[in-house]
Each structure stands twice: as structure tokens, then as C-alpha cells.
Copies of this chain bind each other. A is one copy, B any other.
Amino acid sequence: MKRVMLIVSYDGTNYHGWQIQPSAATIEGMLNKAICSLTGEAIQVIGASRTDAGVHALGNVAVFDTESRIPAEKFSYALNQRLPEDIVIQKSLQVFDFFHPRHCDCKKTYEYTIVNRAFPLPEYRNTAYFYYGTLDLKKMQKAAEAFLGEHDFAAFCSAGAQVQSTVRTIYSLEVVKDDIEEKIRIRVQGNGFLYNMVRILVGTLLEVGKGAILPEDVEYIIASCDRAQAGPTAPAKGLRLLQIEYPFALDNCSK
């Protein structure tokens, strides 16, 4: 038996999110099917981030155990032959047997894209949120500073989430706009995110950009631990999981 880790990229447009569902196409469902078809084993992957419907990924992580004699690093090639073109394995490798993608410390990086101009850009119609109103970028950048560091982010968590602690640490949060496309990119890195946390954070920064929330008030919104104080949950399609980094050598295992 070996434990194989996959780095998975996908365009989430045509899927009902990561998590397997009986009668809808999901990323997890497609991966299980491709792995079963390849190995003949009834395998269910464990994902690092169970992204919502419409959310995209450059580098989500999944692991599974297999008795297959296919070398771990060859799984990427073999699975990509069996996956549709909107799901691509970027890398496969053997990891140590007790590695669990959700129960290990890690750094996650998400990116949210807002097309902020008079009309939408066709190329980004499935991968960005379009907002035509004026957004004050400087205010959004100022407000972003309040999120840095360790905080209780209970105000930035959708109801129904079952977590032991709502304390998380944000290492960096950048808000930048490019001139030609007029696209605002919000990139955030932290040691983990609560359910819908990035989308609520973005929804709050959007309210700041519109002038509905003052940048100085964001620290009080965080301190309130009250979901009702934060902005709305920004639409899923603008969100992309960029990468997950683990602080140890994953391939520290007997091959």
C-alpha cells in the first residue's frame, strides 16, 4: 500500500463543487471515477479544500491509498488521460502513510478576481466577479491591513460550519489593480480559512471600496465576531485556490 498525493487544478464552472454528490458532477466524483478506472480499486480521495460550486483551483490537494504498482509520479499522466480537460492533475507523488491533507499545518493561498470596469470582459466571464461601480482601491488596501495576523474570524464564517476554533492567521493580503484590463486581484495567504471566509472577506473589502464601510471600521468588525457586521459573501466564480504549502517534506516515506 502507498499513499499518493495529487495536486489538482480545475475550472470549477461546470461542477457542483469539490464534494461528492449522488446525482451531480463534482471534482471529487470525477477524481474517484478516474482513479477507479485506472487501478480497478474502489478508491475515495481525501481533499485538502472542499471548494464550493463555481470555485476554481490551481493547486488543490487530494490523497488516496492504493495497492497499484503504478509509480506514484506516473499517476498524473495516467489520470489526465481519463479526466476531462477542465480538471488537470499537475503533479502526483508518494507521501508518508499518515499524511492527511486537512489535519496537517499548512499555508493556503487564495486569489479573488474582480473585473471593475463599465462592462464585463468575455474572457473572464466564468472566472471573475464583474462589478461596474466605482471602487476606491486605496481604501480597500488600507482595510486589508486590519486582517493581517492572528484573529478570531468568527465574523467571517458562514453559519453551519463545524469548527473547533475560529482563530486563524493571515500572513499576507494584497489588493492590486492592473491598468489595461481593470481587474482587481485580491490575494490572501493564511494558515487556514473558515467556511466562506475568503468570500466574506472580499465582500467586506467590496463594501469598503464602495464607501459603505470605513477602512478604520474593519478591525471592529473582526473584533465583533458577529457575521452580521461583515459584508456579504462575494460570488463563488471569482475565487481560486492558488496553492497549499506544507511545512515538511511530504515524500519522507519508504518507497
B180 touches A242 (CB 8 A): yes
A9 in the interface (beta carbon within 8 A): yes
Tell me the complex Cα distance, A119–B180, Å.
28
Tell me the complex Cα distance, A121–B109, Å.
17
A28 in the interface (beta carbon within 8 A): no
The residues of A with any CB-CB pair to B shorter than 8 Å are 9-11, 56, 58, 76, 80, 85-91, 109, 117-123, 125, 127, 180-181, 240, 242-243
Q: Which residues of B contact A87 (CB under 8 A)?
A: 122
* Copies of this chain in the oligomer: 2
Tell me the complex Cα distance, A242–B180, Å.
8
Q: Which residues of B contact A9 (CB under 8 A)?
A: 119, 121-123
A127 touches B123 (CB 8 A): yes
Q: Which residues of B contact A86 (CB under 8 A)?
A: 122, 125
Q: Which residues of B contact A121 (CB under 8 A)?
A: 9, 58, 88
B119 touches A76 (CB 8 A): yes
Tell me the complex Cα distance, A188–B10, Å.
30
Tell me the complex Cα distance, A117–B7, Å.
13
Given that A76-B119, A90-B119, A122-B9 are known contacts, is A180 also in contact with B243, CB under 8 Å in the complex?
yes
A153 to chain B, nearest CB (A): 24
A130 to chain B, nearest CB (A): 10
B10 touches A88 (CB 8 A): no
Tell me the complex Cα distance, A57–B177, Å.
20
Given that A90-B117, A91-B118, A118-B91 are known contacts, is A125 also in contact with B180, CB under 8 Å in the complex?
no
Tell me the complex Cα distance, A227–B161, Å.
62
| CB closest residue in chain B, given A180 | B242
Q: Which residues of B contact A242 (CB under 8 A)?
A: 180
Q: Which residues of B contact A119 (CB under 8 A)?
A: 9, 76, 80, 88-91
Tell which of A88, A109, A122 has the most Cβ of chain B within 10 Å.
A122
A85 touches B122 (CB 8 A): yes
Tell me the complex Cα distance, A127–B9, Å.
16
Q: Which residues of B contact A127 (CB under 8 A)?
A: 123
